[in-house]
């Protein structure tokens, strides 16, 4: 029997809900797994945008024919960008979870982990534009195919789709990627460092403890310049979602092999959609202490088939990696059944069994 990655109980593993009273920011409450969490003290006032509201159809807020921006100094812009980025680097020099690779699996993992607002998540992406191959379907076509029951994850993040018999269709893959990124990056416990490459791993006593970073353009030009040393970020858990083999693909597991922490990285097998998606979810796991592998990088280290232009396994593998990270942090998670829903009932989560015959086929 083929293994499945099935989410039930209101269509998601867990829910993170926030309600905001009409009075002050201090009235905001949140819950994670049904447990109420005290809000952090507000550091600044954030004014919500009214764009897209009903006001857009009422009296305009300005005369477009006489529009004029408020004045600003160029140095103010420079200081704002620099101060905030440097603050983020200092904050995440030591963080809870680092997700390497912001493709569909990495974004799904970060989304799931960051539902717990007390977990700091840093995402490292070598490209200027995160999203990996999830901006388009197969052969540069638009539609994204997601096999059931992974559409429950789409329900969780709010992506519309057309329902078919055994699968659903998102009219454009960019709709998924832009939606999950907008939800993820709005969370205060998440920082995306794009145009940044993970050049190496921090490894102590056989355990991964972070990543070695550099600007992507620097990483791509080490052979053309003199020595350009990197930086480093420590973490309690690294989630490697670097995709299949390529110029910067599968770099996490290839590095583990080169330092002798894993014996073999056989590479992915030829395409078999039905076996591939079950196998990728089934074999998503912590491969060495401190490092979880998800997405197509799983196929590389396990020799599993590739699945081609179906994306459900990327989402569910990312979810599973997220809960493995929460488990490693000693926090409520769906892997060991400590995740509870708003009603206090443990949601029914069926994750593919790594010993399943489909996964090993």
Residue 137 contacts residue 309 (beta carbons within 8 Å): yes
Q: Has 74 been labeled as part of a binding site?
A: no
Q: Has 88 been labeled as part of a binding site?
A: no
Q: Has 181 been labeled as part of a binding site?
A: no
Q: Has 229 been labeled as part of a binding site?
A: yes
215 contacts: CB under 8 Å, gap ≥ 6: 195, 196, 197
Strands (E), the chain: 6-7, 16-19, 29-32, 35-37, 94-100, 121-125, 144-147, 162-163, 167-170, 190-194, 196-204, 207-215, 231-240, 285-288, 291-293, 349-350
Range list of H helices, 32-159:
74-91, 104-113, 151-157
Residue 61 contacts residue 54 (beta carbons within 8 Å): no
Q: Has 105 been labeled as part of a binding site?
A: yes
Exposure string of 335-353, with b = 16+ CB inside 10 Å and e = fewer, is beeebbbeeeeebebebbe
Q: Has 244 been labeled as part of a binding site?
A: yes
The candidate with the shortest Cα–Cα distance to 222, out of 188, 199, 251, 248, is: 199
Token readout for 34 is: 């049904």
Residue 96 contacts residue 236 (beta carbons within 8 Å): yes
Mapped onto helix, strand or coil, the DSSP state of residue 194 is strand
Q: Has 156 been labeled as part of a binding site?
A: no
Q: Has 342 been labeled as part of a binding site?
A: no
Residue 265 contacts residue 257 (beta carbons within 8 Å): yes
Q: Has 307 been labeled as part of a binding site?
A: yes
Peptide bond into 64 cis (omega under 30): no
From the annotation, which residues make up the binding site?
A: 105, 125-126, 133, 198, 229, 244, 296, 306-308
From the annotation, which residues make up the binding site for substrate?
A: 105, 125-126, 133, 198, 229, 244, 296, 306-308
């Amino acid at each position: 029997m083929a293994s499945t990655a099935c989410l039930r109980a209101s269509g998601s593993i867990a829910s993170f809900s926030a309600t905001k009273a009409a009075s002050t920011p201090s009235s905001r409450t949140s819950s994670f797994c049904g447990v109420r969490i005290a809000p952090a003290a507000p550091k600044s006032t954030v004014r919500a945008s009214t764009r897209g509201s009903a006001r857009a159809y009422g009296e305009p807020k300005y005369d477009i024919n006489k529009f004029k921006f408020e004045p600003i100094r160029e140095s103010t812009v420079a200081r704002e960008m620099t101060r905030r980025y440097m603050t983020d680097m200092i904050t995440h020099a030591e963080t809870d979870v680092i997700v390497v690779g912001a493709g569909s699996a990495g974004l799904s993992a970060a989304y799931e982990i960051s539902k717990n607002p007390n977990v700091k998540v840093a995402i490292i992406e070598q490209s200027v534009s995160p999203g990996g191959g999830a901006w388009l379907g197969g052969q540069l076509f638009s539609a994204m195919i997601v096999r059931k029951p992974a559409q429950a994850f789409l329900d969780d993040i709010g992506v519309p789709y057309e329902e078919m018999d055994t699968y659903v269709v998102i009219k454009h893959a960019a709709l998924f990627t832009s939606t999950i990124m907008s939800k993820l990056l709005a969370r205060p416990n998440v920082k995306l460092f794009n145009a940044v490459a993970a050049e190496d791993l921090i490894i102590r006593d056989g355990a991964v403890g972070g990543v070695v970073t550099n600007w992507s353009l620097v990483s791509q030009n080490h052979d053309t310049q003199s020595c350009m040393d990197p930086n480093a970020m420590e973490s309690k858990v690294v989630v490697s979602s670097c995709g299949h083999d390529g110029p910067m693909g599968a770099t996490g597991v290839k590095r583990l092999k080169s330092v002798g922490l894993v014996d073999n990285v056989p590479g992915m097998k030829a395409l078999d959609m039905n076996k591939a998606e079950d196998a990728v979810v089934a074999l998503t796991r912590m491969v060495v202490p401190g490092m979880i592998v998800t997405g197509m990088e799983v196929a590389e280290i396990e020799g599993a088939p590739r699945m081609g232009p179906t994306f459900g396994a990327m989402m569910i593998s990312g979810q599973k990696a997220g809960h493995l990270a929460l488990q490693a942090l000693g926090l409520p998670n769906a892997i060991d059944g400590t995740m509870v829903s708003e009603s206090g009932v443990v949601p029914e989560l069926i994750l593919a069994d790594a010993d399943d015959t489909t996964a090993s086929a």
